[in-house]
Amino acid sequence: MGINHVYIENYNIGAQFCIAVHEKGVVVIYVHNNLKFSNIDLSKHCKEKDIEICTVKLNLSSSTVCIVTIYRSSLGNFNYFLQSLDNVLQSLYTPAFNIIICDDIKINYIVESEQKDQLDNLLLMYYLTGIEDFPVRIIHTSATTADNIFIDIAHLEDYLVIPFSNDLLDHDAQILMIKISFQIQSDRLK
């Protein structure tokens, strides 16, 4: 069944990348019907297994939020992934945007590693920090945080991340809740 046949009430597909060569796989962002958004085409940066990515820009009344979803296979080329991610972030980054990266990139954030350090150093150049602090995949005696969420904690400081168990994945999903203040503007105020 293709992703276009998955229905989530009150949500539409905002962006997606479906793999063409290898079996199974899709990166998708669903957006609530009440939100204004635009799709940012990043297909030129996608390379199956190395970096599969899609992005939407939410136009909120008080801010603009770019949500980036990324998948990288454990068999993918990590250096290609880092370079492509840097190119994507260079094209997206502006102080006016809040960037949120949701990923499944096969880097376990519970343990120290060279790949984790390289990714952290790249993301810090764009003021992005990993905020997930719980394992999402627990199998017998092991636990991993191969999925993570990265935000600019200086701008989005009022947030909560919680695990969400479901039957769609082989690991828990994450729910990110962010408090964003809205400003009401009126020409009549004096």
H/E stretch holding 159 reads: strand 159-164
Return the CATH number at 132: 3.60.10.10
pLDDT at position 114, please? 95
DSSP string, 60-82: -SS-EEEEEEEE--TTS-HHHHH
Domain-located, residue 187 = no
pLDDT on residue 1: 43
Q: What are phi and psi of 54, to 5 degrees?
A: -145, 160
Residue 126 lies in a domain: yes
Residue 64 region by backbone torsions, left for phi larger than 0, else alpha for psi between -120 and 50, else beta: beta
Question: Which residues constitute the domain of residue 166?
Answer: 3-178
* Within-domain flag for 89: yes
Structural domain count of the chain: 1
Contact, 64 vs 58, CB < 8 A?
A: yes
Evaluate whether residue 46 is within a structural domain.
Answer: yes
Residue 83, domain member (yes or no):
yes
Reading the chain (190 residues) residue by residue, the pLDDT tens digits are: 455 567 788 988 888 876 655 555 567 888 889 889 999 999 899 898 899 999 999 988 778 889 999 989 888 999 999 999 999 999 999 988 899 998 888 887 777 889 999 999 999 999 998 886 655 555 555 555 567 889 887 877 777 777 767 665 555 666 777 776 544 444 444 4
Residue 98 maps to a domain: yes
Best CA proximity match to 22, nearest among 55, 5, 47: 47
Task: Write down the pTM of the prediction.
Answer: 0.79
Q: Is residue 190 part of a domain?
A: no
Cα–Cα distance for residue pair 148/101, rounded to 1 Å = 8
